[in-house]
Every structure is written in C-alpha cells, then in structure tokens.
C-alpha cells in the first residue's frame, strides 16, 4: 500500500455519492507498501479501504481480483469484500485511476512474527489454495520467470549504483532460472504477495488475508516459496529453520506437498527472492516525486537469494529427512 495519487475531498465525496455508505467523515492515505494508492475511509458508521490501482496493476485485471475475494470469502477465507455501488458495479474511476472500495478487516500485522505465526500463515495459505481450486477465473502471472529479464532492464543499468556487482549477479541468476525453472507442478490461484503486512492477527490468532492485487494462476509451491522468503528470515537476513519448519509443516497438513514440489523448493525460493529483488530495485530507482511511499531495500532480497543458492533440498528449509523422502 502507498499513495501515488492525491485524492481531493470533493472528488472523493463525488465518488462516494454512488454508494450507500453514508456521509464521508474522514480519510487518510496509507503509506505502507509500494504498489497502489490506498486510503482508510470513514463513511457513515464504518471504515473501508479505498484503492486506486497504479503501476503494475492493469485495469482489466481488477475484476479478477475482486471476484477472487468474493469466491474465497464464500469458501471460508476471511478477506476483504468488494463493496458494490448503487449501479451494482464494484469497479469505478477516481482521479483518472481505476478504483474500488473493500471492507475493512480488524487486526494488525506482525512486525516480528514467530514460529506460531508462521504456522498460522502456512495453514491459511494451504486453505486459500484449496478454496481457490474451483475459481473459474484465470490470470497469467505478469511477474513470473520470463518477465524478470525485461523487469531487470527497467533498472536501466543503474543496479550497480545500489550495490557494486549487482547487475552481473542478477544477469547470472536470470540465466540459471530461465534454464532450470520447474515445470509441470500443481497450479492454481496463488496470492503471490503474502507478506506479513498482508496478514492480520488478533492477538496470536490469524484474522484475515488482504491485498490480493498480485493474485494469479501459477505454481502453488511458488506461493509457499514466497512465504518462506517473507516470513522465515530474521532482521539480519539469516534463515530461521524453526520458522520454516513451522510454516511448511502447517501447510503440508492441510495440503500435502508432493515430492516433485519439495524437490523444486530451492529453485522456487531463488525465483521468489529474485522477483522481489527486481521489483524493489525498480521501485528504489524510480520513486515518483511527491509520492507518499516508503521504497523497500532491494539488497535484503539479494542476501536472501544468496542463502537459497546454497540450499540443496527442502531439508535446508526445515523439513525433516523423513518428510522429504516420504
């Protein structure tokens, strides 16, 4: 979440006039995240999240995201629900951007998740994958392996200004992943961005998943690899095997991972690390003037990538030898 587009009060009041939400009482921009412009809106007696879709989100993809949230909610996954306007639509236009309003979820995200939180995320991710199995919509992952090289080119030769030698390291890793990227693994709807700030807790109980705006049809185990990157490293970028074990075991109890998925885990984790390294790098180098956004450090994911490059099996991520060979 972030704010790239300023929304004047008069424009928001005009937009809300098409809804039955009551009078606008207050609103404020949400600075966390890096992709869309988000606002916490207080209207009538309730709070909502207003999103203006920017940057990597194509307007034609937004109906997929909104329909997916409705589908998952109907199957027991707690996630925001699109709010329909009086005309029945859930997607409108505000300040020249596609815009939607979704319900507000109570809870907070964990700044320092522990192994129990990682287990809750593993179970929730597996439940989401199962709940999405009969979702009819399809969306290609626009940030998958063959999209990474064009993305790296957006750094415009400036990668080495962030860290000397980074450009060559990225090109070397791209070449390896393009050659060896796993094929034929189970696919379905993935969240593709289930970072701690997209998972809410009430106390130690997971209360909901948010921000489905990278959701797509892709390899299910790749979503697991994204979560290992996002949840199981410490602030010094060292991998916490206990957290990884908790996440993987909880996921597998709900949706067992096949041996092929386990064998592919190191490569999938490398790919996930490179994907976030690249998007963070591009964002770091191209923050629009005046945007209310906190770009995230791309080198965090370069360090994680180095760990994955040394991993040889799922055992390096916390699964026991017995589980890996089962």
Identify whether 185 is part of a domain: yes
Domain closes at, from 68, 83, 103: 103
- Percent of the chain at pLDDT > 70 equals 94
Do 13 and 121 lie in one domain? The reply is no
* 13 and 131 belong to one structural domain: no
CATH of residue 95's domain is: 3.30.200.20
What pTM did the predictor assign? 0.92
pLDDT for residue 293 = 62
Residue 1 pLDDT greater than 60, yes or no: no
Residues 46 and 164 in one domain: no
3 domain-assigned = no
Q: Strand 216-219 relative to strand 187-190: parallel, antiparallel, unpaired? A: antiparallel
User: What is the reported pLDDT for 323?
Assistant: 54
pLDDT class for 32, splitting at 50, 70, 90? low
In a domain, 258, yes or no: yes
Asked whether residue 108 is assigned to any structural domain, the reply reads no
Same structural domain, 89 and 138: no
Does residue 133 share a domain with residue 70?
Answer: no
pLDDT recorded at residue 2:
57
- Asked whether 40 and 28 are in contact (CB, 8 A), the reply is yes
Q: pLDDT tens for residues 91-134?
A: 999 999 999 999 999 999 999 999 999 999 999 999 999 999 99
Query: Is the pLDDT score of 296 beyond 90?
Result: no
* Helix spans in 165-239 (H): 166-180, 220-231
Query: Does residue 199 fall inside a structural domain?
Result: yes
Domain boundary among 68, 103, 138: 103
110 within some domain = no
At residue 124, the pLDDT reads 98
Do 75 and 129 sit in the same domain of this protein? no
Eight-class DSSP state of 147: G
- The answer to whether position 93 is within a domain reads yes
Specify whether 194 is located in the same domain as 132: yes
Question: What would the pLDDT profile of 146-175 be if each residue is shown by its tens digit?
Answer: 999 999 999 878 999 999 999 999 999 999
The reply to whether 69 and 208 lie within a common domain is no
Q: Which two tokens stand for residue 323?
A: 């589980």
Q: Per the domain annotation, does 64 fall within a domain?
A: yes
Tell me the three-class secondary structure of 241-265, residue by residue. HHHHHHHHHHHHHHCCCCHHHHHHH
The C-alpha atoms of residue 143 and residue 140 are separated, in whole angstroms, by 9
Contact 165, 201 (CB under 8 A): no
**For the chain, how many structural domains are there in total?**
2
> pLDDT tens-digit profile of 66-83?
999 999 999 999 999 999
Q: Please give the pLDDT value at position 292.
A: 57
Q: Which of 103, 125, 146 is the last residue of a domain?
A: 103
Residue range(s) defining the domain that contains residue 20:
9-103
Q: What is the CATH number of the domain that holds 215?
A: 3.90.1200.10
Is 131 in the same domain as 228? yes
Q: Are residues 224 and 288 in the same domain?
A: yes
Tell me the C-alpha distance between 231 and 193, whole Å: 11
- Do residue 43 and residue 180 come from a single domain? no
Q: Please check whether residues 49 and 69 belong to one and the same domain.
A: yes
The confidence band for 140, taking pLDDT boundaries of 50, 70 and 90, is very high
| CA nearest to 253, candidates 73, 148, 130, 69 | 130
């Amino acid at each position: 979440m972030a704010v790239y587009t300023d929304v004047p009060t008069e424009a928001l009041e005009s937009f809300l006039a098409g809804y039955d939400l009551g009078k606008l009482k207050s609103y404020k921009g949400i600075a966390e995240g890096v992709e869309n412009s988000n606002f916490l809106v207080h209207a009538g007696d309730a709070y909502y999240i207003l999103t203006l879709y920017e940057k990597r989100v194509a307007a034609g993809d937004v109906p997929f995201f909104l329909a997916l949230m409705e589908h998952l909610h109907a199957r027991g996954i707690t996630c925001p629900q699109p709010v329909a306007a009086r005309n029945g639509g859930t997607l409108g236009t505000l300040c020249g951007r596609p815009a939607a309003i979704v319900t507000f979820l109570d809870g907070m995200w964990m700044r320092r998740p522990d192994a129990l939180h990682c287990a809750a995320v593993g179970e929730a991710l597996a439940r989401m994958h199962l709940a999405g199995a009969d979702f009819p919509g399809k969306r290609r992952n626009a940030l998958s392996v063959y999209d990474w090289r064009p993305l790296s080119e957006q750094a415009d030769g400036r990668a080495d200004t962030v860290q000397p030698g980074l450009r060559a390291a990225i090109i070397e890793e791209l070449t390896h992943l393009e050659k060896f990227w796993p094929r034929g693994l189970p696919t379905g709807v993935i969240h593709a961005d289930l970072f701690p700030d997209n998972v809410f807790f009430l106390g130690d109980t997971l209360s909901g998943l948010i921000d489905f705006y990278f959701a797509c049809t892709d390899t299910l185990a790749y979503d697991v690899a994204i979560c290992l990157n996002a949840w199981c490293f410490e602030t010094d970028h060292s991998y916490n095997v206990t957290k990884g074990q908790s996440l993987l075991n909880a996921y597998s109890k709900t949706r067992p991972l096949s041996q092929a998925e386990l064998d592919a885990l190191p490569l999938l984790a490398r790919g996930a690390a490179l994907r976030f390294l690249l998007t963070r790098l591009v964002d770091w180098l191209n923050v629009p003037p005046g945007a209310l956004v906190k770009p995230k450090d791309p080198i965090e994911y370069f360090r994680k990538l180095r760990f994955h490059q040394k991993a040889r099996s799922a055992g390096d991520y916390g699964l026991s030898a017995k589980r890996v060979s089962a």
